[in-house]
Amino acid sequence: MQEWSRRMAPYLGHPVSLTRLNNAGGPGAFYVHGSREDAVLKLGIEAPEEAFYREASGSLQAAGLRVPALLASGDNPRWVLLEYLPGSLPRKRWGRDPAAIRYLARWHALAPMIFDAGVFPSYKFRWDDNLISLDLDPSPGVLVGRFSDELHEIFSSVGWVHGDTNVTNWRIAPDGALALTDWARLGRAHPAIDLAILQPGLPDWDALNDLADAYCALRPQAGPARRLARLMALAKWWSALDFLDMGRQGKLTADGQAGLSMLAERLPEWTQATLGRL
């Protein structure tokens, strides 16, 4: 019997079923239905996510930012058993949700106080030259040269980001509080990454500006808002390229693969319309 299976029992009772949750990539997460409680099991996680749940999640909870509580953890391979938060984010709240914007503004303000005090493992955000070989028009190689200064700013260690704030990683707790899950890409980068990924799909320039305005109203030091919106547009472009490259390398699940064709089809037009005005 696996170590994680033995150690579930004190929290959940005898596990009744184990079901893979829908997600785009990585080792995957599993919904565990027990005789007493339910939970989420994540197998094969990387060091930053494990360290977050073991060492930092309690500080966020104490500050009023909900994350799944850690129930148990272990090694070989590295795994965590987490509180199950049943509610998904309603479609009408996708994108410019006031509660999500407040959450991110508070998170970005608190993170340096939590993580900068010691050596904390960090996901490495960077430009990967493999992205240049993606067959797109306009060519990523041309644009990375044009926007090299802004991309350097996005990947610089100006703060801490969650790194994957897409709509599937927001949950609603039983008390109605908004919670953020899946901290696998916790790392140092510009907040524009979290804000760009918060917007589903390929948002237009007006949507990016609206979100930047709302965020800067809460954190003026992140402005000016037009500059932030510019960085968000480039962060969204990079995120889309990164997703396409993961698909090319076979690193996505069937759920993730399903959206690749639409993204590849829409990205060139969006890039011309959005980055073309920067």
Mean pLDDT of 53-67: 94
| Between 26 and 134, the higher pLDDT residue | 134
Mean pLDDT of 65-82: 92
Cα–Cα nearest to 243, from 131, 152, 153: 131
The residue out of 55, 84, 113 marking a domain boundary is 84
CATH code at position 19: 3.30.200.20
pTM of the complete model: 0.94
Asked if 67 and 99 sit in the same domain, the reply is no
Q: Is the pLDDT reported for residue 272 higher than 70? A: yes
Q: What pLDDT, on a 0 to 100 scale, did the predictor assign at position 65?
A: 97
Two tokens at 187? Answer: 């790392």
Asked if 128 and 11 sit in the same domain, the reply is no
Q: CA 191, CA 193: separation in Å to the nearest integer?
A: 5
Does the N-terminal peptide bond of residue 77 adopt cis geometry, omega within 30 degrees of 0?
A: yes
CATH code at position 225: 3.90.1200.10
Mean pLDDT of 49-55: 92
Our count of domains for the chain comes to 2
The residue out of 64, 84, 104 marking a domain boundary is 84
Convert the pLDDT of each residue in 226-261 to its tens digit.
999 999 999 999 999 999 999 898 887 777 777 888
Convert the pLDDT of each residue in 116-130 to its tens digit.
877 788 899 999 999
Mean pLDDT of 17-21: 86
- Burial readout 180-217 (b: 16 or more C-beta within 10 A, e: otherwise): bbbbbbbbbbbbbbbbbbbbebbbebebbbbbbebbbe
Asked if 69 and 159 sit in the same domain, the reply is no
Asked if 123 and 213 sit in the same domain, the reply is yes
Name the residue range of residue 187's domain.
91-277
